[in-house]
Structure 1
Amino acid sequence: MLELARAQVPEAQFVLGDMRHLSFSPNEFDAVTAYFSLLMLSRADMAALLTEVRAWLRRGGLLSFSLVEFDADSVEVEFMGTTFQASGYTEAQLPAVLEHAGYEVVSLRTVDHAPIEGPSEAQVFCLARPLENR
């Protein structure tokens, strides 16, 4: 994936690493995205990372992420023949999770995804910004 990304945007900087252990300077980014990667974390690790990301964002910066909608913490899930631990929240739970991490929700939307094979799933897409009084 990094090779494909670098080929598409050669002037960008891409980092390979465990998201729980990345370190960036405060106010370094205008935006941070995480599409279907946070679900690989426990809820405790997700909360810690959301708080850390808040510090990386500049004033007015945005966090954009998505999760599969389900209410669970570190449960065993099978996806494409691989079993792993996954966590999630419902759309109704996310505003409180984000507020606790220091964000305000800009938009929150759940859509049903129906793959060609397999069951459909609800996917939550969120856009949030750090609270100004942080």
Structure 2
Amino acid sequence: MSATGTKIQRSDREWREILTDEEFRVGVKEGTERAFTPGNYESEKRAGKYHCKGCDTVLWSSEHKFESGTGWPSYWQPASEGVVETKTDFKMIIPRTECHCAICGLHQGHVFKDGPPPTGERWCINGIVLDFQPDE
């Protein structure tokens, strides 16, 4: 969470100062990284937390990660309640549920209803907008 616990708003110019071009395209412009992109944490097996690159908020945990076979890191729920917000995405023919960091708004990916128990959800996340911190 931000130091003050409040939402962070940045202009495109401010985002470009802290993100790479590809991180900006995916996180700010709501793009999608290619499946199985090297370094996107899809195959990360260590215990740890996944922090938002925009504000360092812990969004995802290895405790909730599962192998979806989709090419993106997948989780059956966020790390804690209230750290991820959703909205309907109409960019494709069928509406999807898009998810964003609740603190800085950085686009994370989408949530689908084809995941494992106990939630039945698959939060399909762009690893490029994450910073993995392994447990010690």
Normalized against structure 1, the TM-score is what? 0.31
Task: Considering Cα pairs closer than 8 Å and 6+ residues apart, tell me whether 1 or 2 has the greater RCO.
Answer: 2
**Greater strand proportion:** 1
**Greater helix proportion:** 1
